[in-house]
Amino acid sequence: MRTTVGIIGAGPAGLLLARLLHNAGIDSVVLESRDRAYVEHRQRAGILEQGTVDVLRAAGAGARMDREGLRHDGIELRFAGRRHRVDFPALTGGRSVTVYAQTEVCKDLIARRLEEGGPLLFEAEALAVEDAESQRPRVRFRHAGRQDVLECAYVVGCDGFRGVTRGVFPTSSRVYERTYPYAWLGILADVAPSHDELVYARHDRGFALLSMRSPSVSRLYLQVAADTDADDWTDEAVWDELERRLETGDDWRLERGPVTQKSVTPMRSYVHEPMRHGRVLLAGDAAHIVPPTGAKGLNLAVGDVVTLARALVHERDTGSSELLETYSATCLRRVWQAERFSYDLTTLLHRDPADTPFDARLQLARLDRITSHRGAETDLAEAYTGFPLDA
């Protein structure tokens, strides 16, 4: 089997890259180790930056997002019993974010891919990437009970942190990593959200987040110890703790409902440099991971594949590989700004077990600065709604 671009992984990065390349007239094959049902139902991020929304629309994959997604023009910060709304459009010149789950983005992109006949192989396990520095790198994979080989002009690893693609990079590659001493206990609940925008709460007992998946489904999170087992928390205990951490000094109340899913998400920061080796390139979680506090993971993946698609089209149209040669450096500028923002927001709102009373007061001072100084608030709003995709 031959193609121009072999894409490993049918998450949002791989699927969107395939879509952008199709629109530009560049052929690709997508290999996904899981079945379609798994890809379309795994719960992941749900906040789309303004740039991500614009890209999906321009790619012809935004119709359902526009019908069903929830535009949000701000977030609420809660601390010391206070509430402060950050107004995104007023601070960013009109930008906003959209609540639309990654599962729905994947469903939309899969549907478009299959409608148009683009090769998308589910249950196709990539076993190895070979000849990365040659003109025709190859992907060995297993599908339908037999091994096969995909020959490409380029291989793109969108196969996540545990994928095979990163294994072809030389040992001289640099890895930057931080593991946080806490995690998120998350629930999905069949109850209307208790607030019409996301609420980020800093509390002496730990962080809490009120989010949503739809007008009738709430998504909520609690900071817990890193070794927490979700089964150790009863539904009632989760609701009780959410109520404590989200409490305010007014008459706001948290609405409870049936919990349909409960899970624990670890917190880590990770960057692999470079993101290109020969004719093999990384995108999305294969190259970088951020803690979920800043809602950057999916959006960073979109930035990667937009940059990569532009570089591949440029090479085809001009014969110049200049943009491909700078792909890694271009992406990493944006990646490190997202890492910085996600780290800042995480350490601003979470209680580290090693924190002293001094550290706690510094958090409150930082929050006071954001909520009382337009420049500091603008910096948060600009980062949350998204760094330029061409930065």
285 neighbors 161 (Cβ within 8 angstroms): yes
Task: Please give the single-letter amino acid code of residue 37.
Answer: A
**Residue matched to tokens 């906040």:** 47
Does the active-site annotation cover 384?
yes
Residue 137: active-site member: no
* CATH number of residue 289's parent domain: 3.50.50.60
Backbone angles phi, psi at 125, to 5 degrees: -85, 120
* Bridge partners (DSSP) listed for residue 143: 124, 146
Instruction: Tell me if residue 292 is catalytic.
Output: yes
Active-site residue identified among 137, 193, 291, 292:
292
Q: How far apart are CA 279 and CA 191, in angstroms?
A: 48
The answer as to whether 28 is a domain residue is: yes
pLDDT number for residue 390: 61
| Given 180, 182, 221, 384, the catalytic residue | 384
Total domains, the chain? 1
Domain contains 214: no
Nearest CA-CA partner of 219 in 246, 194, 189, 243: 189
Question: Is residue 140 in some structural domain?
Answer: yes
Set 193, 296, 327, 350: catalytic member: 296
In a domain, 360, yes or no: no
Does a structural domain hold residue 237? no
Instruction: Please check whether residue 318 lies inside any domain of the structure.
Output: yes
Q: pTM for the complete prediction?
A: 0.95
Q: Which of 72, 195, 203, 350 is catalytic?
A: 72
Q: Which domain holds residue 118?
A: 5-70+99-176+267-350
Provide the residue type at 184 as one letter.
Answer: W
The catalytic position among 100, 154, 182, 200 is 200
- For each of the chain's 391 residues, which pLDDT tens digit applies? 999 999 999 999 999 999 999 999 999 999 999 999 999 988 777 899 999 999 999 999 999 999 999 999 999 999 999 999 999 999 999 999 999 999 999 999 999 999 988 899 999 999 999 999 999 999 999 999 999 999 999 999 999 999 999 999 999 999 999 999 999 999 999 999 999 999 999 999 999 999 999 999 999 999 999 999 999 999 999 999 999 999 998 989 999 999 999 999 999 999 999 999 999 999 999 999 999 999 999 999 999 999 999 999 999 999 999 999 999 999 999 999 999 999 999 999 999 999 999 999 999 999 999 999 999 999 999 999 998 776 5
Asked if residues 148 and 141 have their Cβ atoms less than 8 Å apart, the reply is yes
Residue 100 annotated as catalytic: no
Burial (CB count within 10 angstroms: exposed 0-12, middle 13-18, buried 19+), residue 234 = exposed
Catalytic: 154? no
Residue 29: strand pairing partners: 6
Output the 3-class SS for the chain: CECCEEEECCCHHHHHHHHHHHHHCCCEEEECCCCHHHHHHCCCCCEECHHHHHHHHHCCCCHHHHHHCEEECEEEEEECCEEEEEEHHHHHCCCCEEECCHHHHHHHHHHHHHHCCCCEECCEEEEEEECCCCCCCEEEEEECCEEEEEECCEEEECCCCCCCHHHHCCCCCEEEEEEEEEEEEEEEECCCCCCCCEEEEECCCCCEEEEEEECCEEEEEEEEECCCCHHHCCHHHHHHHHHHHCCCCCCCCCCCCCEEEEEEEEEEEEEEECCEECCEEECHHHCEECCHHHCCHHHHHHHHHHHHHHHHHHHHHHCCCHHHHCHHHHHHHHHHHHHHHHHHHHHHHCCCCCCCHHHHHHHHHHHHHHHHCHHHHHHHHHHHHCCCCCC
Residue 199: strand pairing partners: 76, 210
